[in-house]
Amino acid sequence: ELCKGINGLDKVILRESRGSSAEVYLYGGHVTSWKNDHGEELLFLSSKAIFKPPKAIRGGIPICFPQFGGLGTLDQHGFARNRTWTIEDDPPPFPTNTLSKAFVDLILKPSEEDMKSWPHSFEYRLRVALGPGGDLMLTSRIRNTNSEGKPFSFTFAYHTYFSVSDISEVRVEGLETLDYLDNLRNKERFTEQGDALTFESEVDKIYLSTPTKIAIIDHEKKRTFVVRKDGLPDAVVWNPWDKKAKAMADFGDDEYKYMLCVEAAAIEKPITLKPGEEWKGRVELSAVPSSYCSGQ
Ligand code: BG6
C-alpha cells in the first residue's frame, strides 16, 4: 500500500495477516516503523527527525552505502539514505523471502550527480519483507553494471535504531570477546571483555567478524531483539549519550535513553564487485518476549 507520509513523502505500508506492520519511505529506502502484532513500535524514530531531503531520517533503518562512515569526498554514510528510491514491480527473483506475502521491492540507480562523487554504475535492489511471525527482513542485492570492465568497492551498514525502554537496563549478547575498532579512539583496535555489553556512556564501536546472531535484551520491557545476518561480517554498536545527543539538531536531548543502534555491516573488508557481479547482504530482525530466550 503506497501512501503519503510526513511532508508528503511517499511511503509503503506493509501489513502481515496476524497484525504486525512496517513502513518504508521511498526517500532513503528507509524503514521508519516496525510494529509487532500488538501494535507496539520496535524501532526508535526521533521526535525531531527531519523528513526533508537531503537530510537522512533520524531513526528507523537508514542504509549506509556506498560507504559506512565519512571517508574522502563521499557523504557521511554514503548517499543511498538520502536518495529517492523507486518501487520495482517485477525484480529478478530473490532466492529467499518466498514465504512472505507482505513485502516491497525498491531499486536505486546512480544519477549523473552521484556518478560525480562515486563514478560507478550499479543497481541496488532492496526487498523489505515481514515474515508470518512478524519478523522484519531486509535483503540488499548490489550489482556492478559497469560495462567498461571496472570493478568497484564499497562498505555497508543497516544502521538499525532499536527502541529500548531504558538504555542502562539493556544488555547485548554475541559480541563479547571480539575485536572492535573504537570510533571514539581514532578507530584503534581493542578486544572486548568476556561479559555481555552494557551501557553507561557514549559508545561507537565496529565489532569485527561477529557471529551471525546478536541479541539485544531489554530487561525492563522483557523483550529480546534477535538480529540474524548474512553476508555482513561486522556489527556497529552506537549510542550518542547525553553530550552528542545535545549536539544533534534532529535528536532529542534525552532520546539516547530510548535507543540503541546495532548495525549489521561490512566495513573492515570492503566488498569488491567486478562488472556483472552481485553481492547480497541480508538481515532478519525478530522481537520475542525475553523469557523465551533464557539460557540462549
Ligand atoms: C554511527 C557511527 O553508525 O552513526 C557514528 O558509528 C555516527 O560515528 C552515527 O555518529 C550517526 O551518524 P549520522 O551521520 O546519521 O549522524
Interval 209-249: pLDDT, tens: 999 999 999 999 999 999 999 999 999 999 999 999 999 99
Distance CA 114, CA 119 (A): 7
Question: What single-letter DSSP state applies at residue 65?
Answer: B
pLDDT band at residue 292 using 50, 70 and 90 as cut-offs? low
For residue 271, the one-letter residue type is I
Going along 37-101, which residue ranges are E strands? 63-64, 86-87
Distance CA 209, CA 214 (A): 12
* pTM, full prediction: 0.96
Q: Is the pLDDT of residue 184 over 70?
A: yes
List residues near ligand 1 (CB under 6 A): 56, 76-77, 159, 183, 204, 236, 238, 261, 263
Closest to 264 (Cα-Cα) out of 199, 193, 204, 210 = 210
Best residue for ligand 1 mutational test, from 44, 79, 160, 183 (most atoms within 8 Å of Cβ)? 183
Instruction: Put the strands of the sheet holding 2-4 in their side by side order.
Output: 2-4, 10-15, 21-25, 30-35
Q: What are the boundaries of each domain within the chain?
A: 2-293
Instruction: Determine which residue's CA is closest to atom 6 belonging to ligand 1.
Output: 204
Instruction: Determine which residue's CA is closest to atom 4 belonging to ligand 1.
Output: 238
Atom of ligand 1 nearest to the CA of 56: 15
For residue 156, the one-letter residue type is F
Atom of ligand 1 nearest to the CA of 62: 15
The pLDDT score that the predictor gives to residue 227 is 98
Distance CA 218, CA 172 (A): 9
CA 129 to centroid of ligand 1, rounded, Å: 25
**Protein fold of 2-293:** Beta-galactosidase; Chain A, domain 5 (2.70.98)
Q: Are 287 and 225 in contact (CB under 8 A)?
A: yes
Distance CA 241, CA 245 (A): 6
Closest to 210 (Cα-Cα) out of 170, 266, 157 = 266
Interval 159-176: pLDDT, tens: 999 999 999 999 999 999
CA 94 to centroid of ligand 1, rounded, Å: 30
ipTM exceeding cut-off 0.85 for this assembly: yes
CA 27 to centroid of ligand 1, rounded, Å: 19
Instruction: Put the strands of the sheet holding 122-130 in their side by side order.
Output: 86-87, 102-108, 122-130, 136-144, 278-289, 223-230, 213-218, 170-173
Atom of ligand 1 nearest to the CA of 77: 14
Atom of ligand 1 nearest to the CA of 204: 6
Interval 106-156: pLDDT, tens: 999 999 999 999 999 999 999 999 998 999 999 999 999 998 889 999 999
Q: Is the pLDDT of residue 264 over 60?
A: yes
All three cell numbers of 247: 549536539
User: Does residue 91 have a cis bond before it (omega within 30 degrees)?
Assistant: no
Which of 203-238 are b and which e, b meaning 16 or more Cβ less than 10 Å from the residue's Cβ?
bbbbbbebeeebbbbbeebebbbbbbbebbbbbbbb
The pLDDT score that the predictor gives to residue 296 is 44
Residues recognised as catalytic:
159, 263
CA 256 to centroid of ligand 1, rounded, Å: 13
Give backbone dihedrals phi and psi of 64, rounded to 5 degrees, phi first. Answer: -95, 110
CA 71 to centroid of ligand 1, rounded, Å: 13
For residue 37, the one-letter residue type is D
What mean pLDDT, rounded, does the chain reach? Answer: 95
Best residue for ligand 1 mutational test, from 44, 48, 74, 77 (most atoms within 8 Å of Cβ)? 77
